[in-house]
Amino acid sequence: MKAQQALISAVCLGALLPLGVVSAEAELKAALLYRFVQFSQWSQQAPAAQLYCVAGDQQVFAALQALLQQSGGQNNDKTRLLANVKDGSACTVLYMSDSMVKQSQWHTLLRQKGQLTVVEGAELFRKGAHFGLIAEPNRISFRVNLTQAREQGFHFSAQMLKLAKEIH
């Protein structure tokens, strides 16, 4: 529990967004997504700039855009709100909301090589995502699919893994 609070504090201290623009939950999800990328390594051909794609959550998309803008737009990172599956092929980082769970055509993006995936909910996580966000009262924790990540050539910081609620 202390580890989760430490992660949330670190994320919030490093990534505060203007109040009232988007919900606090969306801001936290965007900040977690951003931090997951910072603590992840692509083993082969790491992208020079990230293309963060968001499917099914305009609030997280807006929060992520604001966060990247505040961070100074390092490495020319970009964001894209996905309208269809075809738009997701160039993404290096994918966030998928739990609203996408019943839309099976989107599930193919979860196993795309070279793409770091973060999802809401257990069902999408089981379909092959690297990170799964878990909504709990007054906080968001996360689980990590380390086996899937390693198979796809990702390496995650040990410090980040210590904060995970579950590692598979």
Average pLDDT over residues 147-159: 94
How would residue 116 be classed by pLDDT, with cut points 50, 70 and 90?
A: very high
Q: Is the pLDDT of residue 12 over 80?
A: no
Q: Is the pLDDT of residue 135 over 60?
A: yes
Strand partners, 94: 53, 117
Stated pTM of the model: 0.85
Q: Is the pLDDT of residue 126 over 50?
A: yes
**For residues 147 and 168, what is the distance between their CA atoms, to the nearest angstrom?**
6
How would residue 74 be classed by pLDDT, with cut points 50, 70 and 90?
A: low
Q: What pLDDT does 13 receive? A: 34
How would residue 128 be classed by pLDDT, with cut points 50, 70 and 90?
A: very high
How would residue 1 be classed by pLDDT, with cut points 50, 70 and 90?
A: very low
